[in-house]
Structure 1
Amino acid sequence: MTELARLKFYATQPHACSYLPRETATTLFLDPSQPMDSTLYAELSELGFRRSGDHLYRPHCQQCQACIPARIPVDLFCPTRGQQRIVRRNQDLKVTRQRPHLCDEYYALYERYINARHADGDMYPPNPDQFESFLVRDLPFAWFYEFRLEQQLVALAVCDVMPNGLSAVYTFFDPELDKRSLGRYAVLWQIAECQRLNLASLYLGYWIKDCRKMSYKREYRPLEVYVQQRWALMT
């Protein structure tokens, strides 16, 4: 176990919130000089931290506590009929694991996804440097999971493998294949992968009640949230 009390953390200056308009955000992040391994990552994930690029971070806003860490306890997960249909609809996809890297095929899919789904967000317009700094890190626990229909790449899930679970870092997919519900399927696949690896939880990052783009996380039940310094099932 890491002596967490010895770790150094830094807070950013207040900046515009990426999720809630007119709100100001502050982020707490681990000292970048601290070596990041899966054990430390797992311990901080239990305290609501998340990874972006080379940084482990957690919201640290003084006036707002809207960002709530969320995870799925996979042994308790019970898929709905709709989720079962999504799994059946995508049984023809093949999933393979790759080391994180930037290539033309990945970036082309990422660019199409951002342009179609997030043109109103702070990741628009996309560029290769952004892709690389956000998703391509040489970390032993970080992986790319390719979802292919025959030879066609239709989705890519960036996922971290920790001792206590998987962390769903980011997923992008073909925006023209709406009927497949590829974003939801990627979550369902990662739940099944947690179960296969005998890992306790799938970490989904932050849930924000008033953010429409976060609403899908409540579809996975039961959902645990980190409030008042402990994990509890959302009612």
Structure 2
Amino acid sequence: MTDQFIRFPRFYLTVPSACPYLPGRLEQKIFTELKEPHAQDLNDSLSKVGFRRSQKVAYKPACDGCHACISVRIPVKDFEPNRTMRRVARRNGDLIRTAVPPHATLEQYELLTRYLNSRHSNGGMAGMTAIDYATMVEETPVTTYLVEYRRRDLEPLNAGDPLIATCLSDVLDDGVSMIYSFYDPSQTDRSLGTHMILSHIDWARKLGLPYVYLGYWIAGSEKMAYKAKFQPLEMYADDAWRKMKI
């Protein structure tokens, strides 16, 4: 691979398909392959212009006549949790965060299955096999971790303590990117989705990184509404990152 290829990677368009977020619309993506030995640099660069990673591909929505999907990130130094978020943090004070290498385990897969069956039984990931999960986790050419959350039942942390939540996360040169998270659906009182974002903000601070990337936000999408709560939030629009006004 040449330096010229890094500056001008080859991009491709997917075939249009039904949009999973906005009924009656078609979804199309532009994507490029993340190839070694420069996959990390390319992923870092593309993340700064609104791309996301999935396995060995970086992609971005490129839907005809639609710009609803907006890449968003949290500026770590400016973020202050609100009262509700502080309550969530206290409620989950018994959880320990551990970043482990991206190796799929049966325990993670069983947790994912419970989560999907409870929360997204009709979604695109429903019916994901153990092999599908291993592919999602392990096919990564960049710096990736599985961030696990377990109860602090014993010190030191016991490997037998139950897994409560997990997030597949990339470490970029300017932040942490939350690729996909899932959790125990029976633990509704914990607000684990919110807790994992708060935890990643703390992790980014400790790594000395300025941003937490949350993926795409869509105005009017109930599935995406939670992201707008993490103010101040920046969005990528008109070729620049700007403070989101809600």
TM, length-normalised to structure 1: 0.95
* AA in 2 matched with 1:145: V
* AA in 2 matched with 1:6: F
User: C-alpha deviations, 1:141-167, integer Å up to 9, x for none?
Assistant: 010011001311000111100111000
Once the two structures are superposed, the pairs formed by residues 55-66 of structure 1 within 5 Å of their partners are 55-66=57-68
Once the two structures are superposed, the pairs formed by residues 25-104 of structure 1 within 5 Å of their partners are 25-31=27-33, 33=35, 35-104=37-106
Paired with 2:235 and 2:55, the residues of 1 have a C-alpha distance of 23
Q: Is the 8 A contact 2:33 2:56 kept in 1?
A: no
Deviation at 1:21, TM superposition (A): 1.5
TM, length-normalised to structure 2: 0.91
Q: Which residue does 1:165 correspond to in 2? A: 175
Q: Which moved more, 1:181-190 or 1:91-100?
A: 91-100
Paired with 2:101 and 2:231, the residues of 1 have a C-alpha distance of 30
Paired with 2:224 and 2:44, the residues of 1 have a C-alpha distance of 23
Q: Which residue does 1:183 correspond to in 2? A: 193
Number of residue pairs aligned between Structure 1 and Structure 2: 234
Once the two structures are superposed, the pairs formed by residues 108-187 of structure 1 within 5 Å of their partners are 108-149=110-151, 150=153, 151-187=161-197
Unpaired segments ≥5 residues, structure 2: 154-160
Paired with 1:157 and 1:193, the residues of 2 have a C-alpha distance of 13
Q: Is the 8 A contact 1:115 1:126 kept in 2?
A: no
Paired with 1:17 and 1:50, the residues of 2 have a C-alpha distance of 17
Q: Which residue does 1:222 correspond to in 2? A: 232
Asked if 1:21 is matched to 2:23, the reply is: yes
User: C-alpha deviations, 1:205-233, integer Å up to 9, x for none?
Assistant: 00011211100000100000011111000
User: C-alpha deviations, 1:100-158, integer Å up to 9, x for none?
Assistant: 12221111100000000001211112321221222222434010011001311000111
Q: Is the 8 A contact 1:50 1:56 kept in 2?
A: yes
* AA in 1 matched with 2:230: Y
Asked if 1:213 is matched to 2:215, the reply is: no
SS state of the match for residue 117, structure 2? helix
Q: Is the 8 A contact 1:155 1:182 kept in 2?
A: yes
* AA in 2 matched with 1:112: R
Paired with 1:35 and 1:129, the residues of 2 have a C-alpha distance of 26
Paired with 2:38 and 2:110, the residues of 1 have a C-alpha distance of 30
**Judging changes above 3 Å, is the alpha-carbon distance between structure 1 residues 15 and 39 closer, same or farther for their aligned structure 2 residues?**
same
Percent of paired sites with the same residue = 38
Deviation at 1:32, TM superposition (A): 5.2
Of 187, 202, 205 in structure 1, the residue corresponding to residue 212 of structure 2 is 202
What is the root-mean-square deviation in Å for CA atoms of aligned residues? 1.5
User: C-alpha deviations, 1:21-72, integer Å up to 9, x for none?
Assistant: 2110111001355655322211111110000121100001112100000000
Paired with 1:161 and 1:79, the residues of 2 have a C-alpha distance of 22
